A and B are shown apart, each in its own frame.
Chain A
Amino acid sequence: MSIIWGLFFTPEDFVQGNSYRIIYLHVPASFLSQTLYLAMAISSITYLIWRVKLAAYLIIAIAPIGAMTTFIALISGSIWGIPTWGTWWQWDARITSTLILFIMYLGLISLHNSFSNHEKADKLLSWLVIVGAVNIPIIKKSVDWWSTLHQSASITLTDKPSIDPVMLYPLMGSIIGFFGLVICLVLLSSKYQILHREKNKSWVKDYV
C-alpha cells in the first residue's frame, strides 16, 4: 500500500523528477540488508555463548534473504544512478561497502554449503558473521567519513528528517511493509532449515 502511495500519490521531486520514486524500494532494501546482517550477528553470538541450535539455523535461514535484499539495494541504486548521477556504478565508499556485504552473504552461504559437518559449519559461520559485522557501521558511516557520490542519510535517529513529510510517510510505510514481508520469508526459510536439519528426529516425523 505504501509503495503504491509513494509511486502514484506523492509529488514529483523538484531535482530528480519521478526517478526519486525508486526510494520507496531502494531504502527499505538497503535498510533490511544491514538489519538482517545484524540479526545474523546476534544469532551468532547467541549460538556461540549459549549453544542454542535454533540460533544457528536462523543464521543460515537469514543469509539468502539478506543476499536478496542487498542485491535489490545494489541493482535499484544502480538503476537510480543512471538518471540522477549519469552513471550506473561508482566505486564510492557506500556502494563498495554494500557490494562487500553482498559478497559476504554469498561467501557465507557457499561456505556453509561446502561443509558436510553441520556443527563445524555453524561454529565457523558464527565467527565469520561476527567478524564481518564490522562492515555494518562502515556502510552506515561511509557517507560521513568519506566524500561520496551517494547522498548522506535523509532519516536519522537524532536529527529531524531532511525529507518532506509528504514523501517521508509513505517511505516509513514501505520500510515497515518490506520489513513484514521479509519477516515472513525468514519464518519460511527457518521452517525449511529446521525440517532439513532435524529430519531424522522423531518429533519432525510426528509433525509432518
Chain B
Amino acid sequence: MFNFAFNSIYEAIYMNGHGLYVWSVVILVFISLLGFFIGFTVKIKKIKDKLNEPN
C-alpha cells in the first residue's frame, strides 16, 4: 500500500505527461489555502492594531 508509485523523482513530477495537470491543481490549492490563512491573519492583526491605537 505504501510503495512509491514511480521509478524516479523525475517520473513523479512528469507523471507520464499528466504532471502539468496534477501539479497545477496542487499549486492552486496550496496558494488558495495559504492566501486565505495569511489574509485572515493580517486582517485580524490590523483590526487589533486599530483597536489598540490611543484615541
Contact = CB atoms under 8 A, between A and B. Distances in A.
Give the contact-size bracket for chain A: 35 or more
A18 B18 contact: yes
A12 interface: yes
Main secondary structure of the interface of B (DSSP, over half): helix
B28 A76 contact: yes
Give the contact-size bracket for chain B: 20 to 34
Nearest to A71: B32
A186 to B, nearest CB: 10
B52 A208 contact: yes
Main secondary structure of the interface of A (DSSP, over half): helix
7 contacts: A9-B4, A18-B18, A21-B15, A64-B36, A68-B36, A199-B51, A205-B51
Interface of A: 3, 5, 7-12, 17-19, 21-22, 25-26, 29, 64-65, 68, 71-72, 75-76, 79-80, 82-83, 166, 169, 181, 184-185, 188-189, 191-192, 195-196, 199, 204-205, 208
Interface of B: 1-6, 12, 15-19, 21-22, 24-26, 28-29, 32-33, 36-37, 40-41, 43-44, 47-48, 50-52
Which 8 A-B residue pairings sit nearest by Cβ, starting from the closest? A18-B15, A188-B40, A19-B18, A18-B18, A76-B25, A208-B51, A208-B48, A195-B47
